[in-house]
């Protein structure tokens, strides 16, 4: 369900209700924020405080907000720049209330390369947070209490659906035969890994950082896609996807990656990138968008790589 399933008037009324019942104060201003493709997002100013209220009409969203709070708490415990979560609940719609971190969204900063270096360094610190299991559910309360956890191989095949997605992409003509074979060999090799899971933000991009006037990142926001995986690869595949070459290099330098490490990681980064964006390709196929599929096919073939 998308956030648009609730009218703007009803959404604002719910925000006013929550401010009065949860914050227990009269709001000075209520303003809807941009973004929010999957949630309603509002800035609420109460006295001298500025708050961010996110909510969704789908009752199944509450466990996801709790999962997100768990990831933010883990990051906050090692003093990473994250917003403070004040309250999570449902009355009746699931909501998350946070302190607003003032600053400039990363997409609008002047020093993009400097910001990306910081993002790389912060991502490397996130990946030092050890987890007990793999996948999004690794942050759920039930999984945290469990004595047994799914293996890395089970996560790769059942949660990420690696082999199934490669087959679907191949049927849509998205993969050259040699590339499909390489991807299957990569999956087979990765299934043998014995690496400890770590926390991943899941969407470490410029739109999800807040920068202060001194050009320092003061908040990593939107942990909605947080997950647990082997170190580096999942977050890097997403973070690097829509950056220029110079920007990719800045991010990797901030992370502490060397050129040799990058070369060794390329098959895995390409695999995760394809698997992560496969659902968008499948959706375009279902809608019969032939032109879009043509561009997706060019991307998957590496036609945008202008280097020999």
Separation CA 96–CA 90 (nearest Å)? 9
Instruction: Pick the last residue of a domain from 64, 99, 134.
Output: 99
Mean pLDDT of 52-72: 95
| Claim to verify: residue 39 and residue 186 sit in the same structural domain | no
Which two structure tokens, joined as six digits, stand for 71?
């990831």
| 188 and 261 both lie in a single domain | yes
Q: What average pLDDT does the segment 47-54 reach?
A: 95
Q: Which residues contact 67 (CB under 8 A, 6 or more apart)?
A: 136, 139, 140, 226
- pLDDT at position 5: 73
pLDDT of 37 above 70: no
Query: Residues 201, 12, 87, 80: what is their CA dihedral angle, to the nearest 10 degrees?
Result: 30
Say yes or no: 61 and 148 in one domain.
no
Q: What is the mean pLDDT of residues 50-54?
A: 96
Q: How confident is the model at residue 1 (pLDDT cuts 50, 70, 90)?
A: very low
Same domain, 30 and 109: no
pLDDT-wise least confident of 10-24, 28-42, 294-308: 28-42
At which of 69, 99, 129 does a domain end? 99
**Higher local confidence (pLDDT), 62 or 3:** 62
Q: Count other C-beta atoms under 10 Å from residue 119's C-beta.
A: 25
Report the pLDDT averaged over residues 87-100.
96
Q: Quick one: pLDDT at residue 150?
A: 84
Q: Are residues 9 and 72 in the same domain?
A: yes
Q: Residues 123, 44: one domain?
A: no
What CATH number should be reported for the domain holding residue 47?
3.30.200.20
Euclidean distance between CA atoms 122 and 76, whole angstroms = 12
Residue 272 domain boundaries: 104-300
Residue count of the chain, please give it. 308
User: Cα angle at 67 between 53 and 206, to 5 degrees?
Assistant: 65
Q: How much is the pLDDT for 148? A: 72
Dihedrals phi, psi of 231, to nearest 5 degrees: -60, 145
| pLDDT at residue 101 is higher than 50 | yes
308 falls within a domain: no
pLDDT (tens digit per residue) in 123-154:
999 999 999 999 999 999 766 666 677 899 99
State the Cα–Cα distance between residues 49 and 130, nearest whole angstrom. 34
Domain total for the chain?
2
CA gap 55, 14 in Å, rounded: 9
Report yes or no on 220 lying in a domain: yes
pLDDT tens digits for 80-89? Answer: 999 999 999 9
Asked if residue 265 belongs to a domain, the reply is yes
Structure tokens, 59: 């009752």
CB atoms closer than 10 angstroms to residue 111: 11
Neighbour count for residue 78 (Cβ, 10 Å):
11
pLDDT (tens digit, 9 = 90+) per residue, 260-271? 999 999 999 999
Beta strands in the chain (DSSP E): 29-32, 40-46, 49-55, 85-90, 94-99, 104-105, 198-200, 209-211, 217-220, 227-229
Q: Whole-number mean pLDDT of the chain?
A: 93
Q: How far apart are CA 26 and CA 23, in angstroms?
A: 8
**Is 305 within the bounds of a domain?**
no
Per-residue pLDDT tens over the stretch 212-261: 999 999 999 999 999 999 999 999 999 999 999 999 999 999 999 999 99
Q: Summarize pLDDT for 170-186 with one digit per residue, the tens.
A: 999 999 889 999 999 99
More confident residue, 144 or 55: 55
Q: What is the pLDDT of residue 222?
A: 95
The domain boundary, picked from 33, 67, 99, lies at 99
Four-point Cα dihedral 186, 188, 189, 190, nearest 10: 80
CB–CB of 131/199 below 8 Å?
yes
Residue keyed to tokens 């490490």? 261
């Amino acid at each position: 369900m998308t956030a648009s399933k609730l009218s703007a008037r009803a959404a604002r009324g719910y925000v006013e209700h929550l401010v009065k019942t949860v914050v227990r104060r009269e709001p000075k201003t209520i303003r809807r924020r941009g973004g929010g493709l999957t949630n309603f997002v509002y800035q609420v100013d109460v006295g001298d405080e500025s708050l961010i209220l996110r909510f969704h009409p789908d009752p199944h969203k509450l466990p996801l907000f709790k999962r997100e709070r768990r990831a933010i708490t883990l990051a906050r415990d090692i003093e990473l720049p994250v917003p403070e979560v004040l309250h999570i609940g449902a009355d009746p719609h699931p909501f998350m209330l946070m302190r607003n971190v003032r600053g400039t969204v990363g997409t609008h900063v002047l020093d993009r390369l400097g910001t990306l270096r910081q993002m790389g360094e912060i991502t490397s610190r996130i990946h030092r947070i050890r987890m007990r299991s793999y996948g999004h559910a690794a942050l759920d309360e039930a999984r945290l209490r469990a004595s047994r956890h799914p293996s890395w191989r089970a996560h790769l095949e059942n949660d990420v659906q690696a082999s199934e997605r490669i087959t679907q992409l191949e049927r849509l003509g998205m993969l050259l035969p040699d590339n499909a074979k390489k991807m299957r060999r990569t999956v087979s090799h990765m299934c043998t890994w014995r690496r400890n899971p770590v926390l991943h933000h899941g969407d470490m991009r410029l739109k999800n950082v807040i920068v202060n006037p001194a050009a320092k990142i003061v908040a990593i926001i939107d942990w909605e896609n947080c997950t647990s995986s082997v170190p580096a690869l999942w977050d890097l595949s997403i973070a690097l996807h829509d950056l220029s070459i110079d920007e990719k290099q800045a991010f990797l330098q901030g992370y502490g990656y060397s050129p040799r490490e990058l070369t060794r990681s390329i098959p895995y980064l390409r695999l995760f990138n394809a698997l992560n964006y496969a659902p968008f390709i499948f959706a375009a196929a279902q809608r019969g968008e032939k032109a879009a599929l043509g561009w997706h096919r060019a991307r998957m073939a590496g036609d945008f790589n202008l280097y020999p």
